[in-house]
Structure 1
Amino acid sequence: MYNILLIDDEIISMEALKVIFEQIENTAVVGEATSGKMAKRLIEKSNWHMTFLDINIPGEDVIFLIKYMKRRNPKNRIILLTDYGSYDFVFKALEMGADSYLLKPYKQKDILHLVNMYLSEDHSQSINLDQTIERFLAYVAKEDYNNSMKMAKTLSAQLFSIYENDHDKIHVMAKSIMKALDSICHQNGLFLSYKLEWDMYTEMDMNGFEKKFIRLVEDIFATIRNSKSDQEIKAIQSVLKYIEKNYQKGITLEAAAEHVHLSPYYLSKLFKKELDINFVNYVSKRKMDKAKELLETTDLPVINIAMELNYQEPNYFSKVFKKEVGLTPSEYRKKVVELEQKTDSMKRHTTILNGNWFI
């Protein structure tokens, strides 16, 4: 919701503005003030995005009020309401931080244009923030330390640029990011010694927030460095046993990853790193080893061997076998038979020394 403050001593003018805002979706008038003193109290306790300020508001210097509002909420859009003949003062107010102005009597279309313009800009900022969060989480998931640190700093800056004084919103966003980080750690087989959460709620500035945020990310990478080896070894051992038990059934990377409670992406990367072969090729190689064994030791037709290894198409099985072995299954079996016959023949004609006689 886009929150709006109205500061004007002309009641009719404020009522007219409220009628216009009722026609704009996602906007709400959250406060009204008819004097500078009332405006200061309103500013101190309200969470707002845009202020319509009468340039002749009684009880306070308008320039001071503009500076005060911008100091408390730099992203606040201040729209000055003025009469003809006040241009010099308006320009000075714009230099001091006001964002735009409207001449009385203002037109509804001019107000709609201003509000929609700023709504669009702020929406664009939110989209950029979402993209930054996605990129940051992607870098952490890939265990890319340098880019994770860079994006953590960028993310901190964007959060405070958009929600400068809205500490509740920053706190909610930080908790959401921590939840996503915790999920990534779990998927990557990383178990921290503590629950990853944003447990400290204080109204800190951007530097304080950034330091705390980066310290948490540093802890994640420190845990990655310190605990990966043992967990990786156990995971790979478990996966290899799972493959040996199931490779003839048409095993998949997803099924193996689920078996060891890892994400398919992480298991694929870990498998390649530890065995210097990707998961799919390793399973295919084990199938071909089994196929060679069956071709060597049984009289099973090639089609039956293909089905035994969960290949539904014998031609595809033969193609994979030839790529791995260099021969088709039939050629391989023929070669094995020829080698066996040659070996038997060599055994029958081998001379054996028996005393003084050769047999």
Structure 2
Amino acid sequence: MYNILLIDDEIIVREALKVILKDMENVEVVGEAASVEEALALIESNSPDMTFLDIKIPGTDIVYLIKFMKRLKPKNKVILLTDYGSSDFVFKALEMGADGYLLKPYPQKDIYKIVNLYLSQVSSHTENLEQIVEPFIDYIYKEDFKNSKEQLKAITEQLTLVCANNSHALCPVTNSIIKGLGTICREKQLLFSKRLEWKEKIQHINANTFESTMLCILEDIFKTMKDTESIKEIKVIQSVLNYIEKNFQKGVTLEEAAEFVHLSPFYLSKLFKKELKINFVNYVTERKIQKAKDLLESTDMPVLNIALELNYQEANYFSKVFKKIVGVTPTDYRKEKKDNPNSTAHLLKRNNYIPNGNWYV
């Protein structure tokens, strides 16, 4: 809705204007004044999009009044109401900041024309605003903080052209942002409480606080996404470790583990290396060798059987891998442990630390 003020000392003029404006969509007369004192109070207490101002309203310098109105509400369109004998004053007033004028007896078509001209300008700017919200949301979804901030500046600049002091003009923008953030929260599984918190803050934004408030919200969104991603990554790695523990003796592969947690092998490989400081294949190999050591210490199984138990089809290859990691062959390892009866290394442990010290299996 677009707010209009009427400032004219003749009640019949105000009533006529109200009748005409009542028939227009998205337009509302939110106040009227018959004197300068009433006009000043009316302007200070409202956020008009347009003001119809009688150029001969008693008790003031009209140019001063226009300058005051523009200083207080810069985006308010001031339309002068005058007659044919006031052309000099009209041109002077236009030079000092008025946006247009209507000549008595104010034909209905002229009123429609001047109001619709303004409405079309605001509508155009509003459409542009809604269009630049989309890439803003897209940059957030892609977790591109730099471009998100740049797009926020673009939205703020556009807002200053449209609705510096008019909260109703913010609604399409804030609604689009709330809707976009809702989609991001669902798809990225962000906390519902955070979504409500951001929505509450956005709903109370005005044109003056838009950029600073949105920047704070933006920083919180990216922090929340990062924290959420870390939690998700921890859950993924723990699931993979559990999967490996149940299947490593059968020769689990990166592709099988990736399919188990619904990730690409490439992404899982990078994530695994980042979290455990060891690549997937080497980790599985070390778990196999640890199991081999346990079997060598606690059983009399032949080395060939242990190799087959761990999905090594050739005992020689198994021995080569074992020696590379442990430093001795499986046979020598068993002999060393038997020669040291005080060793407690053969006792199986219920939980094992992974090399980076942050994980249990």
Tell me what 1:122 maps to: 122
CA contact (8 A) 1:189 1:231 kept: no
- Determine the C-alpha separation between the residues in 2 that align with 1:77 and 1:148: 33
Residue 125 of structure 2 aligns with an amino acid whose one-letter code is Q
- Determine the C-alpha separation between the residues in 2 that align with 1:109 and 1:168: 26
The alpha carbon displacement at 1:201 in A equals 8.6
Residue 21 of structure 1 aligns with an amino acid whose one-letter code is L
Tell me what 1:141 maps to: 141
- Counterparts of 1:68-83 in structure 2, within 5 Å, are 68-83=68-83
Residue 165 of structure 2 aligns with an amino acid whose one-letter code is N
- Residue 232 and residue 82 in structure 1: after superposition, are their counterparts in 2 closer, same or farther (change >3 A)? same
- Determine the C-alpha separation between the residues in 2 that align with 1:189 and 1:200: 20
Residue 143 of structure 2 aligns with an amino acid whose one-letter code is E
- Counterparts of 1:1-359 in structure 2, within 5 Å, are 1-167=1-167, 170=170, 174=174, 177-178=177-178, 180-191=180-191, 194=194, 196-197=197-198, 198-199=200-201, 206=208, 208-232=209-233, 234-235=235-236, 271=264, 274=267
Q: Is the partner of 2:32 in helix, strand or coil?
A: strand
Per-residue CA distance 1:63-85 (angstroms, 9 max, x = gap): 22212222222221111111223
Residue 141 of structure 1 aligns with an amino acid whose one-letter code is Y
- Determine the C-alpha separation between the residues in 1 that align with 2:174 and 2:107: 41
- Determine the C-alpha separation between the residues in 2 that align with 1:205 and 1:116: 23
- Residue 272 and residue 184 in structure 1: after superposition, are their counterparts in 2 closer, same or farther (change >3 A)? farther
Per-residue CA distance 1:201-246 (angstroms, 9 max, x = gap): 988773x54233212212322344455345146358879x99xxxx
- Determine the C-alpha separation between the residues in 2 that align with 1:167 and 1:111: 25
Q: Which runs of 5+ in 1 are unaligned?
A: 243-258, 261-266, 277-359
- Determine the C-alpha separation between the residues in 1 that align with 2:110 and 2:265: 61
- Determine the C-alpha separation between the residues in 2 that align with 1:39 and 1:193: 45
Aligned residues between the structures: 252
- Determine the C-alpha separation between the residues in 2 that align with 1:18 and 1:167: 23
- Determine the C-alpha separation between the residues in 2 that align with 1:95 and 1:273: 67
Q: Which runs of 5+ in 2 are unaligned?
A: 244-259, 270-361
CA contact (8 A) 2:202 2:214 kept: no
CA contact (8 A) 1:35 1:60 kept: no
- Determine the C-alpha separation between the residues in 2 that align with 1:108 and 1:176: 36
- Residue 217 and residue 173 in structure 1: after superposition, are their counterparts in 2 closer, same or farther (change >3 A)? same
Per-residue CA distance 1:39-68 (angstroms, 9 max, x = gap): 111112223211111111112221222122
Q: Is the partner of 1:213 in helix, strand or coil?
A: helix
CA contact (8 A) 1:48 1:76 kept: yes
The alpha carbon displacement at 1:100 in A equals 0.6
Residue 73 of structure 2 aligns with an amino acid whose one-letter code is N
- Determine the C-alpha separation between the residues in 2 that align with 1:63 and 1:203: 33
Residue 135 of structure 2 aligns with an amino acid whose one-letter code is R
Q: Is the partner of 1:85 in helix, strand or coil?
A: helix
- Determine the C-alpha separation between the residues in 1 that align with 2:173 and 2:133: 10
- Residue 211 and residue 22 in structure 1: after superposition, are their counterparts in 2 closer, same or farther (change >3 A)? closer
Residue 88 of structure 1 aligns with an amino acid whose one-letter code is D
Q: Which moved more, 1:12-21 or 1:177-186?
A: 177-186
- Determine the C-alpha separation between the residues in 1 that align with 2:266 and 2:193: 26
Q: Is the partner of 2:84 in helix, strand or coil?
A: coil
Per-residue CA distance 1:189-212 (angstroms, 9 max, x = gap): 344995542449988773x54233
The alpha carbon displacement at 1:137 in A equals 0.9
CA contact (8 A) 1:192 1:223 kept: no
